[in-house]
Amino acid sequence: MTGAGRSGGWTTLSDPGSLGSAEFAGLPLAREEASLQHASSRATGKPDARHADETPRPGETPIAVAIVDKSPIVQTGLKSVIAKDARFAIAFVATDGERLMNALERLRCDVLVTGWSMPFMDGRGVLEALRERPGAPPIIVYTGSPDPDVPAIVMRLGGAAFVSKTEPPEKLLEAVAAVAGGQMVFPIGARRTLDNPLSTLSPREQQMLEALSSGRTNAELARAFNLSPNTVKFHLRNLFDKLSVRNRAQAVHLLATTRRS
């Protein structure tokens, strides 16, 4: 990846690698019809009536942005900010990852902006589900999560950008435009964390990973670290999450691979 630009604590990198019966994405069913009409207008290249006063520059078609967030307040805020920018148009809104997957069967978008903590399928699940899906839109994770490891996890799972909800709205709009142009936007430290995923682990988690590589069971780990079996499971879950792996075999493989590199 080649650095294409840097602003403040952020870096932009080029060359990134069930619908409810009474509502659609948390909106009344009538709004679903409006969303479908808008998606149709995107396909024909003609702006719909809702955005007739936001016509982009001649020869340009607005970037269709899908929003996925559990909070109605965040949904409303994002729709307002994005729709006011002539470069963008709202494709559709979903309240969680499951509804997003159903919506993508019928609707299209150029860029997907998703939250991280959501019911039924969270941001991680969205990234994992769309990672190998042909024609999947690039994904921006927009979250207020205080976990400093999330940006690197998003990058590792194939996300195109990470923007914190503590940033001004303009930062998100810049990221949407950059991602639509084929770039990646992440905090500067995310790249370093991705290069060495083990750096996200606490000292105790690093010790446990070393012990896992020797083939110890959970019971043996509990005795070795003077912990209860449940506490061991808790640490291992955190360890797997930070490394974006599903089990101990994948964690041990990642350890061996990192050491070789």
- pLDDT tens sequence across 243-253: 878 888 988 98
Tell me the per-residue pLDDT of 129-188, one tens digit each, with 9 for 90 and over: 998 888 899 999 999 988 888 898 898 888 999 999 999 999 999 999 999 999 999 987
Residue 161 and residue 32 in one domain: yes
Residues 154 and 221 in one domain: no
The H-assigned helical ranges of the chain are: 29-44, 72-83, 97-104, 123-130, 150-156, 169-180, 188-195, 203-213, 218-225, 229-243, 248-260
Total structural domains within the chain: 2
Rounded to 5°, the CA angle 22-24-28 comes to: 60
> What pTM did the predictor assign?
0.61
Question: Which of 152, 176, 194 corresponds to the end of one domain?
Answer: 194
Q: What is the CATH number of the domain that holds 242?
A: 1.10.10.10
Domain residue limits at 236: 197-260
